[in-house]
A = this chain, B = another copy of it.
């Protein structure tokens, strides 16, 4: 116990306040002082954040696109940290444990959780930085801690694990698993942003013969080549359908992963898909799309949607630990946690700064 106390730096636990990134309504945010969170129910844990990041969803919130997020909310649903305190019903974790925070909270008891569909947990789901305060802060309260945190093995590269809070399980579960990629398959990923690249990295778990990356940004396409895409198409400059058909002997791809979230890209996926293929939607859509059942009704295709369940987090942890997955490739910029406004600026100007994912480190560590 003494040793543990020794590692806690002065000041951490004596103050009752902390700094956090607070949403103040559309276009408004501040890095400001807030009360430190406390255990509210027996299944809670308090985690001192050591590293966190910013998600595209946070930008949507800031635009006002996610109306259920109220002014005053601390944002963020990703990160790693150290357990500060656990409620009396938490049995898996204890003070001092290093943990990965899942963007999805899971009770492990409801019918959805029992089926592995944590995204629809009756008590949890996506609540962090959404319905309750989130992880872009020095401390965070994690409800349903036993089902929502994952122990980090000693000696892990914790920065790499921040990518497992949301982006990698999202790319993997919504894109790759739902897309049922098999050895030898042809795959198209529409959208080479962080989510598309997360799908690209994890698609390689199943050894498809080709992964064709489609995006209007040449830099992002070049990045995808380094991460393992076999072909790239700049769909601002080229006819993506024609080129995919040429690459697949006129048949189309076995799996098309939609990683953008607008009608045009979903439309494109419908044009690329081979008979018997799967369109796995990952993008967050703000409006309806046109589904061409007049041609697709007889094409034996499957379309899937999914909010990430993070049910594969233990599997992904094993692939990172065994060096089969190099999740750090997604990180392009690093900041101190207190520089979070600067980090937001970099993340919002992804084209200008060639940003993929940023890491924010708590300088106290």
Q: Which residues of A pack against B, CB within 8 Å?
A: 42-43, 88-89, 91-92, 107-109, 111-117, 119-120, 146-147, 182-185, 202, 204-207, 209-210, 230, 261, 266, 275-276, 281, 283-294, 296-307, 309, 311, 314-319, 321-322, 324
Q: Evaluate contact between A89 and B43: CB separation under 8 angstroms.
A: yes
User: Which residues of chain B have C-beta atoms less than 8 A from A207's C-beta?
Assistant: 204-207, 319, 324
Closest to A173 in B: B300
Copies in the complex: 4
The main secondary structure of chain A at its interface with chain B is: loop
Taken together as a complex, chains A and B put the C-alpha atoms of A316 and B92 apart, in Å, by 30
A304 with B301, Cβ < 8 A, contacts A276-B120, A285-B293, A324-B209 known: yes
Query: What's the nearest-Cβ distance from chain B to residue A93, in Å?
Result: 10
Taken together as a complex, chains A and B put the C-alpha atoms of A18 and B46 apart, in Å, by 43
Query: What's the nearest-Cβ distance from chain B to residue A119, in Å?
Result: 7
Query: What's the nearest-Cβ distance from chain B to residue A170, in Å?
Result: 11
Taken together as a complex, chains A and B put the C-alpha atoms of A324 and B207 apart, in Å, by 7
Q: Evaluate contact between B285 and A318: CB separation under 8 angstroms.
A: no
Q: Evaluate contact between B318 and A184: CB separation under 8 angstroms.
A: yes
Taken together as a complex, chains A and B put the C-alpha atoms of A168 and B320 apart, in Å, by 28
Please list 13 pairs of residues, one from A and one from B, whose beta carbons are closer than 8 Å in the complex, sorted by A's number: A88-B88, A108-B109, A108-B147, A109-B146, A114-B311, A183-B202, A183-B315, A281-B293, A286-B294, A287-B293, A290-B290, A302-B304, A303-B303
